Chains A and B, each alone.
Chain A
Amino acid sequence: MSDVLSPAPETQQPLPPVKKPKKSKETEVGRSGVMTWVWNTIALLVAVVMAFPIYWMVLTTFKTNKDLISQNPTFWPSTFSLDSYKTIFDDKDFLPSLQNTVLLTLGAVVLGVAVGFLAAVAVARFNFRGRNFFIVTMLVVQMVPLMAILIPLFVLMNEINMTGTIVGVILAYLVFTVPYVIWTLRSFIVNIPSELDEAAMVDGCTQWGAFFRIILPLTMPGLVTTAVYSWIQAWNEFIVVKTLMATNGKNTSMTWLTFYSSTPTRAADYGSQMAGGLLVSLPVIILFVFFQKKVSAGLTAGAVKG
């Protein structure tokens, strides 16, 4: 586990300094066994407090209507019921909106990483006029809140007839994916010694051959990091998609969720609301379980906005 949390995004590190549970134990034991248990208890309390909202969310999804409308909340359902999930899957907007989310997330990630990667190679491997200006701009634009350009973004998409289309939203998401990808990948590529690709070329590779055999594989960890991070951003975004997609009545999972919980007849059906929330979070949770290390590395490496 401590390995998962190793902050180092690269693999070549000799003897990661993080792997030392044994060492720390020695010192703790040396200090005082009793104190360790005091700290353990406090830490477990923290874990309980942090986990409680999730526990409550999951628990709510399994409660029957009877438990939900009872006067006092119960900490364990009297019977388990899948009704809430059934309600969600019966909602005929749920799956189409999930499909839209997948499509536009995929589009935003692939396009964003591709475009960003090319530019990152340019700034990492070349000296050209305007390079520094470009790098500074990439950092600064990451701080422009998406909300601030919502209206003109809509006006623009409307002018080019892209409102209500998934492509329009994908293009809009490039606002936050591209600068982040460039800024983050740049540091990955800079760290690949250029002697390596020169050597490959000496060995008879063409420029593109060297690119595909050296730069691309060595940048892979960075590509995964940025892709995962962009994925999460695009998946969770809802204010832009709400504005741009509204015109044709299409939903994504996030807009579906706000729509769902603000419908009068369902406003008090917390069981289904929580089930819906959990289901739309699931893909992100799964992604996290696999790539948590890369996400944290990417965050600090790129210094991005939320």
Chain B
Amino acid sequence: MSVTTDETVTRSENQGPAPVKKLQRRGVFAGGQYIPYTLLLPAVIVLLGVLVYPIYRLFDLAFQNVNKFAYLKHPEKAKYIGLDGFDKILHDDTFWEVILRSIYFTAELVILSMVLSMLIALLLNRVSNWVRVTVFTVMMFVWAIPALVNGQVFRWLFASNGGVVDYVAYLITGDETWKNYDWFADPTVGLYVVGAAVVIWGALPFLVLGLYAALTQVPKELMEAAKLDGANGLQAFFHVTIPVIRPFLMISAALSFIWDFQVFAQIYALRNSSPESGYQTIGTYLYMEGIVPSRYSDASVISIIMIIMMLAALVFYIRQMLKIGANER
């Protein structure tokens, strides 16, 4: 996992008995059974208020027919319809299209951003120092730009009237028609090329910097030993490097999944506040088809499905995190 843990392990070795298996309360607050609960109280109150209660209301809405503004305004007019809401959404072809699109898009984003960042990180291990500093500086600036602004900038870059990408394509090909090529005409191109470009562009800095740092943790001796044993570069990479940086790979893949699956701001800004149906993955779909047209119960059902999908996909990751957490204790 993170570098933090690696370090924890080394340090606890250095300092003799690791503070790992503390069963009793120790330290500052030894004594006073009520103290931990007092300390937790603010957090518990906050989370009950802004998280648990809203989630309860989310389920409550999902079992009603609040699909009309008037019903949210006058809740007494709404009815409980049991599972009909789920039935309706699960039998909606559009919904399944969106789910499929979300899966494809997320897969594309996670795979491309992981592979690209790995290549760049490996590349950075081979370049002169000043080049590395240059790349890192650029990465930091890219990282700092808010997602919303990313989308806005890419909309301008890919505009069909005066966009620079079209112009560069024209300069390269000399073909006048490129000057007005509309990248957004076909949602498949617009989403899987331009949309993916925005998201990946914004995601690379974190991944590259993290992977680079992880790669520096790979002991040189191991690599040399592998070389001595006759492994070629590729074999050494797969048998030495990958296992060492595996914890970081897992975390970053999981984080990328979390970010990419619910992507909203970039696409929203890229399509100037009104993403068309072909651009809608689950986050934007929820907003454009659930919240904008006041179909609150439908939106709640979709939200619940979204949460479940997210947790199901990440069960493995959560278990790993807890294992790491347990070691730390």
Interface-lining segment among B44-52, B76-84, B181-189: B44-52
Instruction: Enumerate chain B residues within 8 angstroms of A4, measured Cβ to Cβ.
Output: 136
A300 at the interface (CB under 8 A from B): yes
**Bound form: Cα–Cα A196–B136 in Å:** 38
Q: Given A127-B24, A300-B4, A303-B251, are A285 and B141 also a contact pair (CB < 8 Å)?
A: yes
Closest residue on chain A to residue B306 by CB atoms:
A148
The answer to whether A73 touches B28, judged by C-beta atoms less than 8 angstroms apart, is no
Q: Given A179-B47, A273-B156, are A258 and B148 also a contact pair (CB < 8 Å)?
A: yes
The answer to whether B126 touches A28, judged by C-beta atoms less than 8 angstroms apart, is yes
B95 at the interface (CB under 8 A from A): no
Instruction: Enumerate chain A residues within 8 angstroms of B143, measured Cβ to Cβ.
Output: 288, 292
**Bound form: Cα–Cα A300–B212 in Å:** 13
The prevalent SS among residues of A at the interface is helix
**Bound form: Cα–Cα A211–B216 in Å:** 36
Instruction: Enumerate chain A residues within 8 angstroms of B265, measured Cβ to Cβ.
Output: 236, 238-239
CB-contacts of A1-44 with B (<8 A):
1-2, 4-10, 12-13, 17-18, 20-21, 24-25, 28, 35-36, 39-40, 42-44
B144 at the interface (CB under 8 A from A): yes
Q: Given A47-B135, A274-B153, A274-B156, are A149 and B51 also a contact pair (CB < 8 Å)?
A: yes
The answer to whether B128 touches A40, judged by C-beta atoms less than 8 angstroms apart, is yes
A299 at the interface (CB under 8 A from B): yes
| One of B132, B156, B162, B304 near A2 (C-beta < 8 A) | B132
Instruction: Produce 1/0 per residue, A198-222, CB < 8 A to B.
Output: 1001000001001100110000000
Instruction: Enumerate chain B residues within 8 angstroms of A72, measured Cβ to Cβ.
Output: 167, 179
Taking residues whose C-beta sits less than 8 angstroms from the other chain, chain B's interface range is: 35 or more
The answer to whether A139 touches B321, judged by C-beta atoms less than 8 angstroms apart, is yes
Q: Given A72-B167, A150-B291, A273-B152, are A296 and B40 also a contact pair (CB < 8 Å)?
A: no
| One of A2, A36, A300 near B126 (C-beta < 8 A) | A36
CB-contacts of A24-71 with B (<8 A):
24-25, 28, 35-36, 39-40, 42-44, 46-47, 50-51, 53-54, 56-57, 60, 68-69, 71
The answer to whether B255 touches A303, judged by C-beta atoms less than 8 angstroms apart, is yes
The answer to whether B135 touches A46, judged by C-beta atoms less than 8 angstroms apart, is yes
Instruction: Enumerate chain B residues within 8 angstroms of A68, measured Cβ to Cβ.
Output: 162
**Bound form: Cα–Cα A155–B71 in Å:** 13
A306 at the interface (CB under 8 A from B): yes
A-B contact count (CB 8 A): 367
Instruction: Produce 1/0 per residue, B110-152, CB < 8 A to A.
Output: 0000000000100111111101111111111111111111101
Interface-lining segment among B86-94, B203-211, B235-243: B203-211
The answer to whether B144 touches A201, judged by C-beta atoms less than 8 angstroms apart, is no
B160 at the interface (CB under 8 A from A): no
Instruction: Enumerate chain A residues within 8 angstroms of B56, measured Cβ to Cβ.
Output: 152
Q: Given A125-B27, A152-B54, are A261 and B36 also a contact pair (CB < 8 Å)?
A: no
Instruction: Enumerate chain A residues within 8 angstroms of B26, measured Cβ to Cβ.
Output: 125, 194, 198
| One of B1, B128, B164 near A300 (C-beta < 8 A) | B1
The answer to whether B40 touches A118, judged by C-beta atoms less than 8 angstroms apart, is yes
The answer to whether A121 touches B144, judged by C-beta atoms less than 8 angstroms apart, is no
Write 24 A-B pairs (CB below 8 A) sorted by A numbering.
Answer: A7-B2, A39-B127, A40-B131, A47-B131, A54-B138, A54-B141, A57-B156, A114-B42, A115-B46, A118-B43, A126-B39, A139-B321, A141-B47, A151-B299, A171-B50, A186-B325, A190-B329, A239-B287, A261-B273, A262-B272, A285-B144, A288-B141, A296-B213, A306-B259
Q: Beyond the given A1-B137, A7-B217, please list 5 additional residue pairs across the A-B interface where CB-CB is below 8 A.
A: A4-B136, A5-B212, A25-B128, A40-B127, A278-B149
A interface residues (Cβ-Cβ under 8 A, vs B): 1-2, 4-10, 12-13, 17-18, 20-21, 24-25, 28, 35-36, 39-40, 42-44, 46-47, 50-51, 53-54, 56-57, 60, 68-69, 71-73, 114-116, 118-119, 121-123, 125-128, 131, 134-136, 139-141, 143-145, 147-153, 155-156, 171-172, 174-175, 178-179, 182, 186-187, 190-191, 193-198, 201, 207, 210-211, 214-215, 235-236, 238-239, 243, 254, 257-258, 261-262, 267, 270, 273-274, 277-278, 280-281, 284-285, 287-289, 292, 296-297, 299-301, 303-306
B interface residues (Cβ-Cβ under 8 A, vs A): 1-5, 7-8, 11, 15, 19, 22-30, 33, 35-37, 39-40, 42-44, 46-47, 49-51, 53-58, 61, 72, 120, 123-129, 131-150, 152-154, 156-157, 162-164, 167, 179, 201, 204, 206, 209-210, 212-214, 216-217, 248, 251-252, 254-255, 258-259, 262, 264-265, 268-269, 272-273, 283, 286-287, 291, 296, 299-300, 303-304, 306-307, 310-311, 314, 318, 321-322, 325, 328-329
By Cβ-Cβ distance, the 9 closest A-B pairs, closest first, are A194-B27, A300-B2, A152-B57, A148-B303, A119-B43, A7-B213, A152-B54, A7-B3, A122-B39
